[in-house]
Amino acid sequence: MFEQIVVNGLVLSGGYALVAVGLTLTFGVMRMVNFAEGQSVMIGAFVAYTAVPYVGYVGAIAAAMAVNAGLGVILERTAFRPFRGVELNGLIASMGMSIILVNLAELVWGTTPRPFETIYNETSITLGTVGISVQRLLCVAASAALLLGLWWLVQYTSLGRKFRAVSEDHETASAMGIDVNQVSRLALVIGSMMAAAAGALAGPVNMIAPDMGRTEMLNAFAAIILGGFGNVNGTILGALLIGMIQSFAAVYISNAYSTSIAFGLLVLTLIFFPRGLVPERVDENV
Amino acid sequence: MKSHFAALAAALLLAAPSAASAQAGSKGTVKVGILLPLTGNTAWAGKTNRIAATIAAEEVNAQDLAGGYKIELAIGDSQCEPRAAHDQAERLISQEKVQLLIGEWCSSASVAAAQVASDEKVPLLVNISTADQIAGDAGPYVFQSSMQNRYSQQREAALLAKDFKFESVAIIVENNDFGLTFRKNMVALMQKAGKKVVLDVTQDRNDTNWYATITRIPASKPDLVIVSISAVQAANFVKQYAEAGITTPLFSDYPPPPRIFERQVGLQAGKIGLVRASFFVTSETNTPAQKEFVAKLEARAQKELNEAHDVTYWDVASYDAVRLVADAIKRGGPQADGYLKAMAATKADLVLGHYEFDEQRGARPDGLNFVFIRTKPDGSIEVVQ
């Protein structure tokens, strides 16, 4: 049973981490919270669902990420740039966008939850006494690959250096010739693309519906707080811990309260590590 | 002379419909609040329930079925959540000035709405939620027209004893009023029948990841798995159950809506051979009233929501609830005292079946429909019993 619990925890962690790094990237660069990130997950899932018959599953993931890149541009232009420096207004604007996205999805795809089947759902690998669908294993592998890619981008590319510079001090970065608006837009675009991948990967594991994405959002916030707000590496560590705690708690303590247990441990951790497990050091953050 | 009579008869016939419509509303308008989930993860069901209730109200007004009163519906989006149901019930009473209430969908939300109804002394008809004793616990202002869990579980246990060979069971439910009353009743029934409950699990209603629960099933080695999970969650569960390759027979309480569920996970359910209870399923054996209702609702849902819809038990219960309220107004008026007495004396044949209430203001189960269905390997449905 141990292997199944670990795989389940990794599936949860992967989804949370993809959402959380998008959120933390946006926060690190813009100091604003994107409350529409959960709905970006939902849009990603629906776009992939719609695209699968035409371009196959891998193509559908790419299509979802491409559409969400556009969504990121729209979000940056409407809910973030106009409110730069007035964080509360930006927060409300992104909440408003999240509601608009849900209503839009209801109009386009209806309210009845739909099954999102891929060829990877149909094949299972037996671990111990329970089968694990290839789709779940794909979720783990793809999440890891995307997170590794993002880490590499932030650490070793010119764009990553710009992210870090704007994160540290956007006025100085601007004075040094960095286009802060462009960097902010790219942060939101990458965050939305990560959310799309999370939706396209996790969508086939459950039903997809316009109200999906909320649980992922809540757990992503927990991961960010646990890892240290604005810190990509800490966020990934936080997501891993939250997913694993939920998975083990569900089996060994209680399914009914697995989320409460995870959040209880989060509060407990924050009592001893108030700035998260990887405390914020601005120059190393995004 | 003959021609005079003929002219008079023709004039009376022509005047009849307008006289009837003039009479509906001649005693005034009764505002009825309906609590439904129009957002959240059960919104897909709430939207057609609203249409069903609207059709019933239109018929009541057109045919003067409320004894000279016209019914006006006010909708509250209660989201299947206790807090939202409480707030919306308060809003409907204080701002919309409703005199009567119907709803909610989820049992925990209905319990919250019943508390408001009792405090504000506004009669409430709980029409969909099936947790035991919602009316009995809430007091004299609350009635429950849905079949309570304890009755449906007696029927389910009887079917299990007859059609399934098992000595041990796993019982899996949602952690809310609906699931917990199911669990309490089913555990007692299984123990009474000498069956061993080897796994007894509750899971958070919003947690879509059933894999942890499913992982525990093979280790506990039950002969049968019994679940009571809300509609969408049931689809998630069955999908993950099938993917996990578990072959233990699965029996479900009534929530998965026939055909809608089969479109979601019919092949997976068919692979397992899922058997479940249902209060209503469209079939050739439907009564004429049921066939008429199905035709009306499907056409209206297509027009208003622009999508095909398979009628659910919840739609039928929403339609019947408005008709029950109208019938009680007709016999007792809209004031609480008269209305409550009239509701208690209800004897009505409506779409789902025959409604009467017991001394605890819960619907008597004898007249209400209850069937068992099996999903076949091709994803279609067969009625087992």
- Residue B305's domain is classified under what CATH number? 3.40.50.2300
Whether B307 sits inside 8 A of A259 (CB atoms) is no
Q: Which residue, chain included where needed, has tokens 């936080």? A: A238
Model confidence pLDDT, tens digit, residues A143-195: 999 999 988 998 899 998 998 888 888 888 888 888 888 998 999 999 999 99
**Per-residue pLDDT reduced to its tens digit, B5-51:** 455 454 444 444 444 445 777 899 999 999 999 987 788 889 999 99
Per-residue pLDDT at A106 exceeds 90: no
Same domain, yes or no: B175 and B46: no
Burial class (CB in 10 A: 0-12, 13-18, 19+), B25: middle
User: Is B379 found in the same domain as B237?
Assistant: yes
Query: From the CA of B201, how many Å to the nearest CA of chain A?
Result: 7
B378 shares a domain with B229: yes
The answer to the question of residue B364 being in a domain is no
Residue of A nearest to B239 (CA): A206
Chain B positions with Cβ closer than 8 Å to A: 39-41, 43-44, 47, 175, 201-204, 206-209, 211-219, 232, 235-236, 239-240, 243-246, 260, 263-265, 305, 307
Among B41, B239, B243, select the one facing A131 at the smallest CB separation.
B243
In a domain, B1, yes or no: no
Q: What domains, with CATH codes, occur in chain A?
A: 2-284 (1.10.3470)
The answer to whether position B136 is within a domain reads yes
- Asked whether residue B363 is domain-assigned, the answer is no
Residue A107's alpha-carbon distances to A212, A276, B39, B176, B307, in angstroms, are: 15, 40, 13, 31, 11
Q: Are residues B259 and B378 in the same domain?
A: yes
Residue B362 domain-assigned (yes or no): no
Cα B217 to Cα B199: distance, rounded to the nearest angstrom: 7
CA closest to B216 among chain A residues: A251
Helix, coil or strand: residue B344: helix
B143 and B209: one domain?
Answer: no
Same domain, B82 and B65: yes
Using an 8 Å CB-CB cutoff, list chain B residues near A133: 243
Pair (B110, B184) in one structural domain: no
Q: Mark whether B45 and B191 lie in a shared domain.
A: no
Q: Which residues of A touch B (CB under 8 A)?
A: 1, 4-5, 8, 11-12, 106, 110-115, 121, 124, 126, 129-133, 135-136, 205-207, 209-211, 214-215, 246-247, 250-251, 254-259
Residue with tokens 């196959």: A56
- Are B161 and B263 part of one and the same domain? yes
- Please give the angle made by the CA atoms of B124, B322 and B102, to the nearest 5 degrees: 25
Reported pTM = 0.82
Specify whether B376 is located in the same domain as B249: yes
Residues in chain A with CB shorter than 8 Å from the CB of B212 are 5, 8, 247, 250-251, 255, 258
CB-based contact A8:A251 (threshold 8 Å):
no
Q: Which residue has the tokens 């994107």?
A: A34
- Bond from prior residue into A117 cis (ω within 30 degrees of 0): no
B241: which residues sit within 8 A by CB, 6+ positions away? B210, B214, B225, B250, B268, B272
Residue of B nearest to A9 (CA): B212
Q: Are residues B159 and B249 in the same domain?
A: yes
Phi, then psi, of B26 in degrees rounded to 5: -65, -25
Give B-chain residues touching A214 at CB under 8 angstroms: 206
Residues B203 and B305 in one domain: no
For B193-250, what is each residue's pLDDT tens digit? 899 999 999 988 778 888 888 988 988 999 999 999 988 789 999 998 988 888 899 9
When mean pLDDT is compared over A102-111, B116-125, B264-273, B296-305, the highest value belongs to: B116-125
- Does any domain span residue B192? yes
Position B357 in a domain: no
Any domain includes B40: yes
CA distance B357 to B353: 13
Residue B87 has pLDDT above 70, yes or no: yes
User: Within 10 Å of residue A107's Cβ, how many Cβ atoms?
Assistant: 11
Query: Could you tell me the residue range of the domain that residue B236 belongs to?
Result: 150-278+371-383
Question: Structural domain tally of chain B?
Answer: 2
